[in-house]
Structure 1
Amino acid sequence: EPSVIDDEMLKKAVEEQGPKEEAGKIAKQEGIDYCDVLSLRLDFRNILKVDNLWQFTKLTKLQMDNNIIEKIEGLDALVNLRWLDLSFNNIEMLEGLDKLTKLEDLTMYNNRITRLENMDSLPNLHVLSVGNNKIDQLDNLIYLRRFPNLRTLNLSGNPVCDDQGYKLFVVAYLSQLVYLDFRLIDEDTRQKAHSLYENKLGELMHNEKQAEVARQAEEDAEKELMKHKVSLEAYVEHLNTPLLFESMYKEDPEGMKLSLLPGLQDMLKDFQDKFVDVCLKTFEYGMKGYGKRCTELAEFNACIEAAKSENKRQAVKVIDEFDERKKKLFSELLVTSDAVDQEQKVSNQYLSKLFILLAMNEYHEDVNAIWDVLMGFEMQLVDQLEETIKDFERNMTDMTSQLVEYIQGLITQLRDLENAHNEKLLEMCMSVLEKVVKNEMDEELPDDLRMLFVDKDTIVNAIGASHDVHLIKIDNREDEIVTRSGSWLTGCLQDIQAGECARNRARVVEISSYIDHLRDEIDTLDLPEAIARS
C-alpha cells in the first residue's frame, strides 16, 4: 500500500535523524520544530505523493529515493534546498523545481524521464544525475548549456548513450563539464570534440549570442516599461525626456516657422538644454517622492497589521481560556444530568438539578462577559486604528503638499526659461525685421518665415501666439501633477476609511455570531427535559 507523508511519518523521520542519547531524549520530550530541520531522509517508505513538507523552510538536504513517486510536486516551500535525491522512483517528467533556486545537486537516477527541461530556475546547479532514464535525443542535451556551474553529469544507462558520437557531442557542447558518467574528461577528448564540432559550435554560439542580445533588449524594455509605470504613479511620466519641450513646438506653427530664423539654432539649443534639465530634476524629485510615499504606505500597513494581529492574539487567548472552562463545565453538566436521570433520593436529585441550573446561569453570565471583553477589544482596536489613520493622513498630506510645492517651484523655472527665451526671440526678430525693411539681410528667408516679417505687429503677434502655446503646455503639465496627486491622496484615504469600516462591521458580526453559537451550545446539550425547560 502506498504511504502518505503525514505528521506521524515526519515526526518519526525527524526523531530518527535527530540528536541521540540524552540530547535525543530531551529533543523528543520538548519536540523538534520542523522549520529548524536542515536535513531529512524519507527513503524506502513507499511514498506515492510528495506532500506536507511546507514547514521545512530551512531544509538544505532532502532524500526521497526508493519510493514510488510519480510526480515532482510539493517542494515550493523548500527555498533553501541545495541537495535533492529522487532516484529510484517512477517520475516521468522534470517539473516542480521552479522555487528551488539554490539547488546545487539534483539526483534523478533510475526514473522514467524522457527529456531534460523545466530547470531554468536552477542557476547554481553543479551536479546532475539522470542516469538510467529514457532520454534518447542528443540535441536535447544542448539544453544543459544554460548551466554554467554544471561540473558533474551522469547520463549512463539512457538510450542516448548508445549513439557512437555521444561522448564527443556532450564534451563539445558542454565544455564546462569536468566529469561525465563518473569519469574525468581528459584534455585529449576535449580537443577531439572541439575539432569535430568547431563549425557547428561557432554557429550555435552566434545564435546564442543573438538570443542573449534579444533577451537583454526585452529585459531592458521591460525595465523601461516598469520605470514608466512607476513614473505614472509618481505623476512625472516623460519628464526625463525632451517630450514636454517638443510638445510645445508640435502644436505651435508660428514657433516652428521662427525656428528657421538664421542664427536662432544656438539660442534654441541652449533653451532646450536648460528646459530639459529642469524637467529631469522634476522627474527625479517626483520619483523620490513616490519612493517616500510607498515607504510611508508600507509602514502604515505594517502598523495596521501589527495592531490587528495583537488584538487577535488577545481575543484568541480569552476565547481559548473560555473554551477550557466550557469543556470542563459541559462535562460536569452531562455527568450530573446522567445522575438526575437515574434512581436517586429526592433530595439528591433536587441538589443535582439545582447545581445544573446554577451552572447554566453562571455559563450565560460568562458568555455575556466574553461579549463585553471581545467588544471592548474591538473598540480599543477601532480607537487605535483611528489614531494611526489620522497620523498617516497628516503625514501623507504634508508629504503631498511638499511634493507639489517643490515641483511647482521647478515648473516656475520652466516658465522663467520660456519668458527669457521669448524676450531674446523678440529682440532678435526686431533686429531681423529692421534688416528686412532696409533690405540688408545676408541670408534669404523661407517664404513662410518672410511672411511674418512684413511689419512689427505681425511678428509681435506671431511671437506672442507661440509664447502663449508654450505657457499653456507648461501650465497644463503643472495642473495635471497637482490634480493627480490630490486625487490619489483623496482616493487612498477614502479606501482606507472604507476598508476600516468594513472590517469593523465584519468583526462585530463575527463576535455576535460567536456569542449566539455559545448560547446555542448549552441549549442543545443533552440535559433532562425538566431542567432544559427550567
Structure 2
Amino acid sequence: MSRLYDTVEPSVIDDDMLHKAVEEQGPKEEAGRIAKAEGIDFADVKSLRLDFKNILKIDNLWCFDSLTKLQLDNNIIEKIEGLDTLTNLIWLDLSFNNIEAIEGLEKLTKLQDLTLYNNRISKIENMDCLPDLQVFSIGNNELDELENVIYLRRFKRLKTLNLNGNPFCKVCVQEENPEDGSEAVYTENQDYRPFIIAYLPSLDYLDYRLIDENTRAAANEKYHLAIEELTHNEEVENKKEEERQAKEKEHNLHKAAYVENMDGPALFHAMYTEDAEGQKLADMPGVDEMLVVYKEKYVATCHQIFEYGLQEHERRMEEVNQFWDCIEEAKRENKEMGMKQINQFMEYKKRLFQELTHLTDQQVLDNKITEYNKRLQELWDKLMGLELQLVDQLEEATKDFERNLSDLVSSFIENCQGHISALRDLENIHHEKLLEISIVTLEKVVKNELDEEIPEDLRLLFVDKDTIINAVSSSHDIHLLKIDNREDDIVTRINQWMSQLMTKIHEEEEVKRNRMRVSEINNLIDHLREEMDTLDLQLGYN
C-alpha cells in the first residue's frame, strides 16, 4: 500500500496551503476576484479538498468550524488527529494514506460518510461517537478477523459498506512452498458475504453491490441460530446499559440538587466508617437496640433533606429557565426591530443606487451621496440605540433574576441547615445515652457483674472512667465532623453554582453578546459606506 510519492518531502498544512486550496475551490472569474480581494473567512468554508498534497500530519484546521466536507485522500497521513474542532463535518475522505488505527473521531458526531479505503488498518474500533454513520468504506486494509465486523451492528443507519480487498475476503487454498517456488493461492471466502449480510441487517449495499432479498434470506437462514443468540445477548446488555444510564441520570439529578446519597443510610454509615471506637462501643449490652432507633430517626431526617433538596432544585431550574426564556424573547424582539430599520434602509439604498446610475448632474449626485451618508449615520444611531435599549433591558432582567435566585438559595441553605441541626440533635441525644450506658457498663465490669461476654477490644476500653469517656467523646466528635462536612459541602457547592452562573451571565453571555452586536453594526455600516464609495468611483470613472 505504499504511495509513489512516499519519497517526496512531506508537506505541512499551513496558511499558504489552506489559502491556496480555498481560492482554487472557491468562486471563479469576477466573483473569485472579489472574494480574493476581500479575503475568504475560513470559518465560512463548507468544503475543502487537500488531496495529493503529500501531507504527513493533519493540523491547522481549527478555523474551519463550518466545514461539512473534507477530502484528505492520497496523502501520507499516518494518524487521524487534528479534527476535534470540525464538529459539523458530514463527509470525510482519508483513503489512500498510511493510517494504522481508527481514532481521533470523538468530536465528529455528525459524520455520515467516512472513507478509510486503502490504508493499514487492522481493526474496526473507536467509532461509537458516530451515531449517524450511513456510508463506510474500509476496503483494501488489513482486516483479517471477520468477527470484528460485528462491531458495526451498533450503527443502525449504516446502509453502504465497502470491505472488499481485506484479508478476510479470501481464504488460502495452497500454502507458499519455498522448496518448489510455488506461491500461496487464494480464493474468495464463501462465508464472507453471507456473514456480513446476516450480521448487519441494516445494509442495502455491500462492496458497491445491492443486496437482493434472496441473498439476504439465504444469509439469515445460514446464521439464524448465531444471530438469535447474539440478539438475545445484545438485548440483555442494552437493558443493563439503559439501567446504568438511568441510575447515572438519577445520581446526576441528586448531585445537582446537592442531596446525593441522602435518600438512605449513606451518611449514617459514613459516620461509623472511620469511627473505630464507635464500632467497638456498638457491642456494649443495650447499644444495638438504641442504634436501631437512632438510625431510623437519622435516616428519616436525611430523607427529609433529600426530598426538600429535589423540590428546591426544581424551583431553581424553573427560575433559571424562565430567565433564559425572557432573555431570548427580549433579544428576538430587539432583533426584529433592528431588521425592520435595516430593511427600510436597504429599500431606500436599492432605489437610490438605481437612480444614481442615471444621474448626470454632478451637484445632484453629490447631494444624493450626502443624503445617503446622513441616512446611514441615522441607521447607525437607531441600531446602536436599540442595542443600548437591549443592554438596559437585559441588565434589569438580570438584576431581578439574581435577586430571586439569591432568595431561593438563601432559603434552601437556611432550611437545609435546620434539618442538619436536627441530625446534630439526634447525635447529641445518642451520645448522652451512649455515655450513660458506658458508665453503667464500666461499673459492672469493675465489680465483675457483667452478665454478657464482650469482645476483648471493647473490654480494653473499660480500664478506667477516663478511657471509656474519651472513647465515647472521640466517636461523638467524628460523627459531628461528618455532619458538619456534609453541611459545608451543600452550602459551598450551591453558593459556587450561583456565583458561576451569575459570572457567566454577566461576563461571558452579555458582554460577549454586546461586543459581537456592536461589531456587527459597525461592520454593516462600514460595508454600506464602502458600497457607496465603490459606486461613486465607478460613476466618476464613467
Q: Which residue of 2 aligns with 1:264?
A: 287
Is the partner of 1:524 in helix, strand or coil?
A: helix
Is the partner of 2:357 in helix, strand or coil?
A: helix
Q: Aligned AA for 2:399?
A: K
Alignment partner of 1:289 out of 305, 308, 312: 312
Residues 244-283 of structure 1 aligned to structure 2 (within 5 Å): 244-283=267-306
**Structure 1 residue 436 corresponds to structure 2 residue 423:** no
Cα 1:241–1:205, aligned 2, differ >3 Å: closer, same or farther?
A: farther
Give the deviation of 1:292 after TM superposition.
Answer: 2.3
Give the deviation of 1:231 after TM superposition.
Answer: 2.3
Is the partner of 2:535 in helix, strand or coil?
A: coil
Cα 1:386–1:472, aligned 2, differ >3 Å: closer, same or farther?
A: same
Q: Deviations over 1:369-397 (max 9, x none)?
A: 10111011001101110111111101111
Alignment partner of 1:408 out of 417, 421, 425: 417
Q: Which residue of 1 aligns with 2:388?
A: 379
Give the deviation of 1:327 after TM superposition.
Answer: 1.2
- Whole-Å Cα distance in 2 between the matches of residues 450 and 117 of structure 1? 64
- Whole-Å Cα distance in 2 between the matches of residues 382 and 313 of structure 1? 16
Residues 459-474 of structure 1 aligned to structure 2 (within 5 Å): 459-474=468-483
**Structure 1 residue 507 corresponds to structure 2 residue 530:** no
Residues 27-426 of structure 1 aligned to structure 2 (within 5 Å): 120=156, 137=194, 140-141=197-198, 158-160=214-216, 169=221, 208-336=231-359, 339=360, 352-426=361-435
Give the deviation of 1:410 after TM superposition.
Answer: 1.2
Q: Which residue of 1 aligns with 2:527?
A: 517
Give the deviation of 1:213 after TM superposition.
Answer: 3.3
Cα 1:306–1:248, aligned 2, differ >3 Å: closer, same or farther?
A: same
Q: Which residue of 2 aligns with 1:128?
A: none
- Whole-Å Cα distance in 2 between the matches of residues 121 and 488 of structure 1? 40
Is the partner of 1:525 in helix, strand or coil?
A: helix
Alignment partner of 2:488 out of 479, 484, 490: 479
Q: Aligned AA for 2:514?
A: N
- Whole-Å Cα distance in 2 between the matches of residues 446 and 97 of structure 1? 60
- Whole-Å Cα distance in 2 between the matches of residues 356 and 493 of structure 1? 53
Q: Aligned AA for 1:137?
A: P
Q: Deviations over 1:46-78 (max 9, x none)?
A: xxxxx9xxxxxxxxxxxxxxxxxxx9xxxx9xx
Q: Aligned AA for 1:427?
A: E
Cα 1:334–1:379, aligned 2, differ >3 Å: closer, same or farther?
A: same
Is the partner of 1:262 in helix, strand or coil?
A: coil
Q: Aligned AA for 1:518?
A: L
Structure with larger Rg: 1
Alignment size in residue pairs: 361
Is the partner of 1:442 in helix, strand or coil?
A: coil
Give the deviation of 1:232 after TM superposition.
Answer: 2.3
- Whole-Å Cα distance in 2 between the matches of residues 309 and 517 of structure 1? 24
Q: Aligned AA for 1:215?
A: N
- Greater displacement, 378-387 / 425-434: 425-434
Which blocks of at least 5 consecutive residues in structure 2 are unaligned? 1-67, 69-90, 92-109, 111-129, 135-149, 159-191, 203-210
Give the deviation of 1:141 after TM superposition.
Answer: 4.8
Cα 1:143–1:363, aligned 2, differ >3 Å: closer, same or farther?
A: closer
- Whole-Å Cα distance in 2 between the matches of residues 222 and 99 of structure 1? 23
Give the deviation of 1:139 after TM superposition.
Answer: 8.7
Q: Aligned AA for 1:220?
A: E
- Whole-Å Cα distance in 2 between the matches of residues 278 and 140 of structure 1? 59
- Whole-Å Cα distance in 2 between the matches of residues 121 and 332 of structure 1? 56
- Whole-Å Cα distance in 2 between the matches of residues 222 and 323 of structure 1? 53
Cα 1:117–1:502, aligned 2, differ >3 Å: closer, same or farther?
A: closer
Give the deviation of 1:288 after TM superposition.
Answer: 2.5
- Greater displacement, 430-439 / 518-527: 518-527
Alignment partner of 2:456 out of 439, 447, 451: 447
- Whole-Å Cα distance in 1 between the matches of residues 229 and 368 of structure 2? 86
Q: Deviations over 1:54-110 (max 9, x none)?
A: xxxxxxxxxxxxxxxxx9xxxx9xxxxxxxxxxxxxxxxxxx99699xxxxxxxxxx
- Whole-Å Cα distance in 1 between the matches of residues 506 and 288 of structure 2? 55
Q: Aligned AA for 1:222?
A: Q
Q: Which residue of 1 aligns with 2:11?
A: none
Cα 1:418–1:354, aligned 2, differ >3 Å: closer, same or farther?
A: same
Alignment partner of 1:492 out of 498, 501, 517: 501
Give the deviation of 1:293 after TM superposition.
Answer: 2.1
- Whole-Å Cα distance in 1 between the matches of residues 347 and 255 of structure 2? 55
- Whole-Å Cα distance in 2 between the matches of residues 223 and 316 of structure 1? 45
Equivalent pair of 1:430/1:456 in contact (CA under 8 Å): yes
Cα 1:359–1:143, aligned 2, differ >3 Å: closer, same or farther?
A: closer
Aligned-residue CA RMSD (Å): 3.5
Give the deviation of 1:118 after TM superposition.
Answer: 6.8
Equivalent pair of 2:256/2:313 in contact (CA under 8 Å): yes
Q: Deviations over 1:127-172 (max 9, x none)?
A: xxxxxxxx96389557769xxxxxxxxx9753355x5xx89x49x9
Cα 1:207–1:367, aligned 2, differ >3 Å: closer, same or farther?
A: closer
Cα 1:119–1:479, aligned 2, differ >3 Å: closer, same or farther?
A: closer
Give the deviation of 1:205 after TM superposition.
Answer: 6.1
Q: Deviations over 1:435-475 (max 9, x none)?
A: 11221111122222112222222222211111111011101
Which blocks of at least 5 consecutive residues in structure 1 are unaligned? 1-50, 52-70, 77-95, 101-114, 123-134, 146-154, 174-199, 340-351
Equivalent pair of 1:137/1:160 in contact (CA under 8 Å): yes
Is the partner of 2:358 in helix, strand or coil?
A: helix
Q: Aligned AA for 1:394?
A: R
Question: Would you tell me which structure has more helix in proportion to its own residues?
Answer: 1
Cα 1:443–1:205, aligned 2, differ >3 Å: closer, same or farther?
A: farther
Q: Aligned AA for 2:510?
A: E
